[in-house]
Amino acid sequence: MSIEYIENLGRNAKSAAPLIAGSETAKKNEALSEIARRINQNTREIIAANTIDIENARKNGMSEAMIDRLTLTEKRISVMAEGIGQVVALPDPIGTLLSEKTLPNGLNVKKIRVPMGVIGIIFESRPNVTVDAAALCFKAGSAVILRGGSDAINSNKFLVGLMRKTIADFGFPEDCIQLVEDTSHETANEMMRLNRYIDLLIPRGSGRLIRAVIENSTVPVIQTGEGNCHVFVDESADLDMAVNIINNAKTQRPSVCNAIESILIHEKIAEQFFAKLDECWHGKVAIVGDKRTSDLINVERLAEEADYGTEYLDLRLSSKIVSSVDEAISHINKYGTMHSECIVTNSDENAAKFQCAVDAAAVYVNASTRFTDGFELGLGAEIGISTQKLHARGPMGLEEITTYKYLISGNGQIRG
Amino acid sequence: MSIEYIENLGRNAKSAAPLIAGSETAKKNEALSEIARRINQNTREIIAANTIDIENARKNGMSEAMIDRLTLTEKRISVMAEGIGQVVALPDPIGTLLSEKTLPNGLNVKKIRVPMGVIGIIFESRPNVTVDAAALCFKAGSAVILRGGSDAINSNKFLVGLMRKTIADFGFPEDCIQLVEDTSHETANEMMRLNRYIDLLIPRGSGRLIRAVIENSTVPVIQTGEGNCHVFVDESADLDMAVNIINNAKTQRPSVCNAIESILIHEKIAEQFFAKLDECWHGKVAIVGDKRTSDLINVERLAEEADYGTEYLDLRLSSKIVSSVDEAISHINKYGTMHSECIVTNSDENAAKFQCAVDAAAVYVNASTRFTDGFELGLGAEIGISTQKLHARGPMGLEEITTYKYLISGNGQIRG
C-alpha cells in the first residue's frame, strides 16, 4: 500500500519536473514572491495548524527544546517569508553555459547547467525547512518531494498546500512541490529506494537519520550536517584570539553543526591558554579532557576515545594537548566529520600545512567555524551543508542542487 | 577474514592518500612516464602472466569473445603505455583556484580543487582498465583500490606490482595503487561498505555489476556505462545523413555503451527512411520492430515492451514509428539510461526542443552518439562515462574524479 503511495508521488514528480525545468526565471520568481506574500497573509492559519502539532507533541511528552524547534511564531513565519525573498533575489543557475568549444571535426560541444530533476528531502521537526527547501528546489528548476517528521505534519500540510495552490495559480504543475503525508518509517525507507524517480536525496537532521539514509538508499545521497568540528591552538597563536574564536564557535549556538566539539592545544602554550579560557568561561562549558588537560583546568571527567568522535551539540567539548601541528592534523582527519576545522596560529607555514592536509569542506585560519553557512560565505540560502566529497562540499546553495549536460551539434559527423 | 583484508587495504589507502594529494605535478608525471616505459620493457613478462589467465579461462569454458577482451597482445600493451603518456600530457587539475573572494568582514574565502582521497574501482575482465584507471587516479592525486575480475588476476597482479614498484622508486607510498587480490564476491561486497576509507566507488562493467553496486554500496557511487541510446529521425531529417549516423552508431562498435540500441522514426518519412536503411544494411542488423515498422521492413520479430529497455550490445536494435518529436522525447525519457541521445533533423525548433527536454548526459543534433568519449569530446582520457546526475555526467576525466574545499583565512573573525 505505502509503496504504491510513494511510487505515485515519484511518478507525479517525474512528470512535473520537465515543466519546471524549462521555466523562465521571472515566472519562477513571481510564483515564489507570491508564496512569500501568502505566507505572511496566512500567519494566523499557519499558527493554528502549528498549534495542533504542538498540542500533539505535548501529549506525546516531547521535550521543551524540541517543542521550541517545532514552534512557529509570527516572527518565525515572517522570517520564513523573508527567506523566500532571498531565494528570489539569487541569480538563476539554470541554463548557464559552463563551457563551449568547436572540435576539429566541426562538432559544437556546449556544457550547460540543467536542473537535477527530482529532489527528495528527508528531514525532522522544524517546519521552516519545508518552505526553505521547497523554495530552493523550485528556483533550481527541480520538482521536490518533502518528507518531514510526523511531529510537524499539520504545519507542513498547510504550508505545502499553500505553496502548491500558489504555483498552480502561476501555471506550474502543483506536483512540483509534494509532501509525503504518510510519515511512517516505511514511506521514508521506500523513498530511499526510489531511484527510478528521484535523482538526489538529501537527508537533513540527526546523525542517526543521515546514517540510516546512507545505509539504505539506492538513490544518490548527499550527506549533510554532522559536524564534529575542532579548533587547534598552535604554539604561535594569539591566545586572546584563540579564546575568543573558541568561545564563539562553542557557545554562540551550541546545537548547530558548525559549532565546535573539540579543542586541540599545543603543549607549549597549554598552561597560559587554559588560564585565559578559564577566565572567559568560569566553568560555563564542561570540558572532557585528556590527562594533560586535567592537570591544567578542571575537567568534567577524563576523555575516553569515544569522546573524540562525539558531537555534543551542547555546552561541552573534548580537549586534548598535542605536541605538533602534524599531531593535530592526524587527530582531526581521524575523528572529524569533514565539516569545518580551524587553526589559530601566527605561523604562515603551519597555516598552509593545516589548510592543505586537513580533509574537510571548510578549513579556517584564525576565524570561527561558525561561518560555514551559505549566507555567511556569500553563497546565498542553502539547503544543507555537505560533509561528503561527491558533487558538493560545504554549504549547498542553488548551483549545488543542479547538474549539467552536454549539447552536441553537428552536420552529420560520424566516428571514424 | 576477508573483512580484515579489505579494511587493511582501506587503511593503507587512507594513509597513502595525503602523501600523493600534495605531490607536485612534475613528480607525478615522472613516475607515470616511467610506468609507461617499464610496461613496454616488460611486454614479454606481461604476456606470460596474461597467458596463464587465458589458459585458465579456456579451462573454465570462457567464450572466445570474452577471451578476446581478456587478451593482451604486444599491440595492446603498447597502446596501454601510450594511454599513460596521454594522461601525463593532461593538465593537472589539483590546486586550481575555482573562486576567491573577500567578504565585507575581511574573511578571505578560496575554493580550490583537491583530490577525492581514496577511489575504489570495481571492474570486469579487461586488464587494460587496471592501468588506465590507476594512471588517472594517480594523476588526480588520489589513492586507488582496484578490484578487477578473477579472470584477469595474474595479468593484474603483474601490472599492479610493476606500478607499485615504480611509484615507490619515485618516493611515493606504494599503497597509492593497490589491487584486491582476493577476488571473491565477499571482497567486492565489503568494498561497497567501506565508507570509512573509500570516498568514491566507480563500478565499470555490466549492467548487473552496476546495479549490484548501487543496491549494496554505502560508499558514494558514480554509475557508469549502461547505454540504451536512441536516434530519432525527425520528419525534416536528411535521410541519407540519418542512415549514415544510424549505421555508424550501431555497427562501428556494437558492444560499447555509446552505440545505439533503438531508433525512433517519424511516421511521415518512415517509408522512405526504411527503404534507404535497407539499402545500407541488407539485413546485416536485426531489427526488432513495432507493428508499423514491420509493415515497412523485414523484422526479426515484433518488439515487446522489454525490448525498448534492452541494451543489446550486438548487431540488433529496436525500432518504433512515432508521430512527433514530443512522442520521441517521452519514449527516450521513459526507456533511456541518460547516456547519449540523438535527433536527426533540419528543424532548429525541434533540435532545440529535443536538446532541452531529453534527460541525458549528451544530447546530439545531427551527429553520431559514438562521440560520447573523453578523447573524442576533447576532455582527455576518461575513467568511465557517468549516467547519473550527481557529481559528474558523461565522460569522466581527471577533473571529474576530484572534489574541492574552502580555505577561509581571517584575523580573528567571530560570528555576531
Q: Is A244 on the interface with B (CB under 8 A)?
A: yes
- Within 8 A of A18 by CB-CB distance, chain B residues are 333, 357, 359
Closest Cβ opposite residue A415 in set B218, B221, B376 = B376
Q: Say if the Cβ atoms of B405 and A363 lie within 8 Å.
A: yes
Q: How confident is the model over B376-391, as pLDDT tens digits?
A: 998 888 999 999 999 9
Q: How confident is the model over B220-272, as pLDDT tens digits?
A: 999 888 899 999 999 999 999 999 999 999 999 998 899 999 999 999 999 99
Taking all residues of chain B, what is their mean pLDDT, rounded to a whole number?
A: 95
- Written as nine digits, the cell of A185 is 518509517
A5 pLDDT tier (thresholds 50, 70, 90): very high
- Within 8 A of B351 by CB-CB distance, chain A residues are 409
Q: How confident is the model over B268-312, as pLDDT tens digits?
A: 999 999 999 999 999 999 999 999 999 999 999 999 999 999 999
Closest Cβ opposite residue B361 in set A355, A362, A406 = A406
Can you tell me the ipTM of this complex? 0.94
Chain A from 360 to 389: CB within 8 A of any B CB: 360-368, 370-372, 376-378, 388-389
Instruction: Please tell me the predicted confidence (pLDDT) of residue A380.
Output: 83
Q: Say if the Cβ atoms of A200 and B366 lie within 8 Å.
A: no
User: B357: distance to nearest CA of chain A, Å?
Assistant: 7
User: B294: distance to nearest CA of chain A, Å?
Assistant: 27
Question: How far, in Å, are A346, B110, B409 from residue A368 at the CA level?
Answer: 16, 16, 10
Closest Cβ opposite residue A356 in set B22, B241, B363 = B22
Does position A255 have pLDDT exceeding 90, yes or no?
no
Q: Say if the Cβ atoms of B365 and A410 lie within 8 Å.
A: yes
Phi and psi of A22, rounded to 5°?
-95, 10
Q: Is A352 on the interface with B (CB under 8 A)?
A: no
A66 pLDDT tier (thresholds 50, 70, 90): confident
- Within 8 A of A379 by CB-CB distance, chain B residues are none
A293 pLDDT tier (thresholds 50, 70, 90): very high
Residue A22 · residue A129 · CB < 8 Å: no
Exposure on the CB side of residue B50, measured as CA atoms within 13 A: 21
Q: Say if the Cβ atoms of B371 and A413 lie within 8 Å.
A: yes
Q: CB-based contacts of B391: which residues, under 8 Å, 6+ apart?
A: A390, A391, B220, B222, B400
Instruction: Please tell me the predicted confidence (pLDDT) of residue B378.
Output: 83
Q: How confident is the model over A269-288, as pLDDT tens digits?
A: 999 999 999 999 999 999 99
- Within 8 A of B116 by CB-CB distance, chain A residues are 389
Percent residues over pLDDT 70 in chain B: 100
Q: Say if the Cβ atoms of B333 and A18 lie within 8 Å.
A: yes
Distance CA B100, CA B221 (A): 29
Closest Cβ opposite residue A368 in set B101, B389, B413 = B413
A·B CB contacts under 8 A: 196
**Is B165 or B68 the better-scoring residue by pLDDT?**
B165
| Torsional class of B225: left (φ above 0), alpha (ψ -120 to 50), beta (otherwise) | left
Q: Is A404 on the interface with B (CB under 8 A)?
A: yes
User: B128: distance to nearest CA of chain A, Å?
Assistant: 22
- Within 8 A of B245 by CB-CB distance, chain A residues are 412, 414
- Within 8 A of B355 by CB-CB distance, chain A residues are 407, 409
Sheet of B340-344, strands arranged across: A97-102, A108-115, A402-413, B362-367, B340-344, B229-233, B260-266, B316-322, B286-289, B301-302
- For residue B195, the chain A residue with the least C-alpha distance is A214
Q: Say if the Cβ atoms of B390 and A244 lie within 8 Å.
A: no
Does position B66 have pLDDT exceeding 90, yes or no?
no
User: B287: distance to nearest CA of chain A, Å?
Assistant: 21
Q: Which helix (H) or strand (E) holds B37?
A: helix B25-41
Q: CB-based contacts of A114: which residues, under 8 Å, 6+ apart?
A: A21, A94, A95, A141, A402, A403, A404, A405
Closest Cβ opposite residue B391 in set A351, A371, A391 = A391
Distance CA B39, CA B168 (A): 16
The CA-CA-CA angle for residues B120, B122, B123, to 5°, reads 140
Chain position carrying cell 523513498 = A191
Instruction: Please tell me the predicted confidence (pLDDT) of residue A207.
Output: 82
Closest Cβ opposite residue A390 in set B249, B368, B391 = B391
Q: How confident is the model over B309-358, as pLDDT tens digits?
A: 999 999 999 999 999 999 999 999 999 999 999 999 999 999 999 999 99
Percent residues over pLDDT 90 in chain A: 89
Other C-beta atoms closer than 10 Å to the C-beta of A215 total: 11
Q: Say if the Cβ atoms of A409 and B364 lie within 8 Å.
A: yes
- For residue B365, the chain A residue with the least C-alpha distance is A409
Instruction: Please tell me the predicted confidence (pLDDT) of residue A65.
Output: 81
Chain A from 260 to 289: CB within 8 A of any B CB: none
A381 pLDDT tier (thresholds 50, 70, 90): confident
Instruction: Please tell me the predicted confidence (pLDDT) of residue A3.
Output: 87
Distance CA A145, CA A200 (A): 10
For residue B334, count CB atoms less than 10 angstroms from its CB and return exposed for 0-12, middle for 13-18, buried for 19 or more.
exposed
Q: Say if the Cβ atoms of B220 and A218 lie within 8 Å.
A: no
Instruction: Please tell me the predicted confidence (pLDDT) of residue A1.
Output: 53
Q: What is the mean pLDDT of residues A144-172?
A: 97
- Within 8 A of A107 by CB-CB distance, chain B residues are 367, 371
- Within 8 A of A371 by CB-CB distance, chain B residues are 107, 408, 413, 415
Instruction: Please tell me the predicted confidence (pLDDT) of residue B171.
Output: 97
Q: Say if the Cβ atoms of A107 and B371 lie within 8 Å.
A: yes
Q: Is A213 on the interface with B (CB under 8 A)?
A: no
Q: What is the mean pLDDT of residues A165-170?
A: 98
Taking all residues of chain A, what is their mean pLDDT, rounded to a whole number?
A: 95
Q: Is A403 on the interface with B (CB under 8 A)?
A: yes
Does position A208 have pLDDT exceeding 60, yes or no?
yes
Closest Cβ opposite residue A367 in set B107, B333, B355 = B107
Instruction: Please tell me the predicted confidence (pLDDT) of residue B260.
Output: 97
Q: Say if the Cβ atoms of B366 and A214 lie within 8 Å.
A: no
Instruction: Please tell me the predicted confidence (pLDDT) of residue A54.
Output: 96
Q: Is B394 on the interface with A (CB under 8 A)?
A: yes
Helix, strand, or coil here: B117?
Answer: coil
Q: Say if the Cβ atoms of A393 and B405 lie within 8 Å.
A: yes
Q: Say if the Cβ atoms of B22 and A413 lie within 8 Å.
A: no
- For residue B407, the chain A residue with the least C-alpha distance is A363
Residue B263 · residue B246 · CB < 8 Å: yes
Q: What is the mean pLDDT of residues A144-168?
A: 97
Query: Amino acid identity, residue B305?
Result: E
- Within 8 A of A403 by CB-CB distance, chain B residues are 389-390, 393
Angle, nearest 10°, between helix axes A185-192 and A2-21?
A: 50
Q: Say if the Cβ atoms of A117 and B244 lie within 8 Å.
A: no
Chain A from 89 to 148: CB within 8 A of any B CB: 101, 103, 107, 109, 116-117
Does position A172 have pLDDT exceeding 80, yes or no?
yes
Chain A from 51 to 70: CB within 8 A of any B CB: none
Q: Is A391 on the interface with B (CB under 8 A)?
A: yes
Q: Say if the Cβ atoms of A244 and B200 lie within 8 Å.
A: no
Q: Say if the Cβ atoms of B390 and A391 lie within 8 Å.
A: yes
Q: How confident is the model over B4-13, as pLDDT tens digits?
A: 999 999 999 9
Distance CA B181, CA A47 (A): 62
- For residue B94, the chain A residue with the least C-alpha distance is A356
- For residue A330, the chain B residue with the least C-alpha distance is B15
Chain B from 171 to 210: CB within 8 A of any A CB: 195, 199-200
Other C-beta atoms closer than 10 Å to the C-beta of B208 total: 10
B203 pLDDT tier (thresholds 50, 70, 90): very high
- For residue B343, the chain A residue with the least C-alpha distance is A409
Q: What is the mean pLDDT of residues A147-174?
A: 97
Q: What is the mean pLDDT of residues B170-194?
A: 95
